[in-house]
Amino acid sequence: MASTSSNPIPPEAGFPPLTKADVIACAFSSWYPTFRRHSPKATVIAPLSDEFIDYLQSDGVFLPEGSGPMGISELSDSEDGESANGTESSDDQSWQVSFPKLDSEIRDVLFKYDGAAFPKLNWSSPRDAAWMLPGQNLKCQNPADVYLLLKSSDFITHDLDHAFDLCVEHTPSTLSDSWAAPEEGLTEGAGALTLSDEDSDEKREGRRIRSRETHSSYPFELVLKKWYDIPTSQEWRCFVRDKQLIAISQRDTNYYDFLQPDSVMEELEDQISDFFEKEIQPVFPSTNYVFDLYLTRAGDRFFILDFNPYSSTTDALLFTWSELNEIVIPTSDGSRTSTLPEIRIVTSAAMSANQALPAFSHNRYPKDVVELSDGASIAEFAKEWAAKLEKGVLDGLKQDEDGRDEVEELAGR
């Protein structure tokens, strides 16, 4: 139901107030210049045009003309623009979009990054849409890959429509849908949104209005990070409240034997705490936030992967937000204590099995993709979709060379 409220929303229960400044501080272009030397190399393409944002919000799954390596203009069962029964499709106009300037900018970045990059918008990456590519990951090798992931992702929809919805200054617009935080454990990045099966014209117009409002106050940007195969076992999510590091969670919810010794966890906790106190705490502008780190294979350097708002739109992973909000922070001198931060890892294979639902399965198959399957099972359609992508879109692009120094590869400019 459309909201008619004109009053700012109250803070989330149990959470410190979230401001627009807090959300903007977590946008990639806000923090990357400050932490560039501690971050994987990346390129920002900005601002994105209103026409491209409208394309991302349009119905259906289709790709702009000329975005693939062989000039593929669409991914459909009908490559000549006709429907399955041979008649001309009534939606031909929807296939006639192209973004040659953006295509060229993306290809230039891919060339610079040896042919592969990881995409995101200001806040979120399209991790929930990774199943759309044959590798089941976010390794993009041409503009078509980038567009397909962005267009298929609920996380990207959140960036476009709901980035500031939980901010205390936010006033719901008349055409804006009321929005509630997703179920705990089903979110990532700046947040997630599961779209209803049926989108009315009013809802679509409301989304356009919200994205234009966001775009006018903070331009949308496309971030392309150089692709690198990093072991997810060494990715860590860190929670900061009142400028104190209160908790650390393993990001990959699989069991790893090498993480189990107490000595390993104690050393990791000290390493992360030291890095936070020296490099992040003194300069990051917000009081409450979440950041993600990667520890190199040699165990001697951290890379900052992302910053996220301290709100229910960010996945608490091995914690719950109730647990995080109940952690008591010393009020004396703010120095590190023996109890903080609390660190959690997956401590058994059984615990890992309990976390083993496919990532983002709640929003894995959009309604329009299901409709495109033409009666086939999802498994059959996903296989056919991947085969089509592999044949038509992913042919012949250069892979990263093996054996490069990890730090040079991630941070080299």
Buried/exposed code over 301-317 (b: 16+ C-beta within 10 A; e: otherwise): bbbbbbbbbbbbbbbbb
The pLDDT score that the predictor gives to residue 12 is: 74
Tracing tokens 């992360």 back to the chain, one arrives at: 272
Q: What is the DSSP string of 7-20?
A: SPPPPPTTSPP--H
Give the whole-number percent of the chain exceeding pLDDT 90.
51
pTM comes to: 0.76
pLDDT tens string 358-401: 555 444 444 444 444 444 444 555 566 566 555 544 443 333 44
d(CA 314, CA 185): 9
Reported as half-sphere exposure (CB side, CA atoms, 13 A), residue 67 has a value of 22
Torsion (CA) 156, 161, 163, 168 in degrees, nearest 10: -160
pLDDT tens string 243-261: 999 999 999 999 999 999 9
The residue among 81, 216, 222 whose CA lies nearest residue 147 is: 222
The domain spans of the chain are 41-73+95-227+365-392, 232-354
Torsion (CA) 55, 59, 60, 64 in degrees, nearest 10: -10
Radius of gyration in angstroms for the set of CA atoms belonging to the chain, rounded to a whole number: 22
